[in-house]
Amino acid sequence: MKWRFAGTFLAAFAVLVIVWWLTAFGQRYRAVVLATVQLISPAVNGWWLAYDQPGLVDPVVYRSGSHELPMLLNLPQLSMGFLPFLSLVIATPGLGVRRMARVAAVGSLAYFCIHVCVVLLYPVILDQPNFLKDTIGVFSGLVAFVLAPLALWFGLTYPALRSVWQLTPTPNAR
């Protein structure tokens, strides 16, 4: 079971890397995240987000009054976090195709929302940094880009994993 899981995960990851690269998913994802944040940012954090416009000091800039803060997050690269999440979902035994698709969709939406929250927090954390803001920034980066794929997979597939780990009897064992 372990070898099959590992093999399926690695094969799915390899295919998804190729799909990610061929479809320019990272650039498309960047555009969707920035457009979403641009719409809600002024109401959420009081900063205006501008991107990909001539005359900006950086490709993505937050503005508040006369203050400008370049956003240095590389969203196309961060979108690669979808690859381990989706590979874990595909490799999870006992999900079935429908449930796998549902878990992948719900998890991807949740992961997108996590990234939007991190981008919304960006000017709050990086404007006038201090010890607390630095700690929050490091923690939010760790959660959003390292722990989120694993936590989403575990949380959304836990019922299937319980049977695999034999925490509950399988239906055939009765």
In a domain, 122, yes or no: yes
pLDDT band, residue 108 (cuts 50/70/90): very high
Which pLDDT does position 57 carry in this prediction? 72
Radius of gyration in angstroms for the set of CA atoms belonging to the chain, rounded to a whole number = 19
Q: Which domain holds residue 42?
A: 2-48+75-173
Q: What is the dihedral of CA 18, 108, 163, 98, to 10 degrees?
A: -80
Which pLDDT does position 164 carry in this prediction? 66
In a domain, 69, yes or no: no
In a domain, 6, yes or no: yes
Q: Domain count for the chain, please give it.
A: 1
In a domain, 153, yes or no: yes
Which pLDDT does position 169 carry in this prediction? 59
In a domain, 68, yes or no: no
In a domain, 142, yes or no: yes
pTM: 0.84
The string of pLDDT tens digits covering residues 41-88 is 999 999 999 998 887 778 899 999 889 999 888 899 889 999 999 999
60 contact partners, CB below 8 Å, separation of at least 6: 34, 49, 50, 51, 52, 70, 71, 73
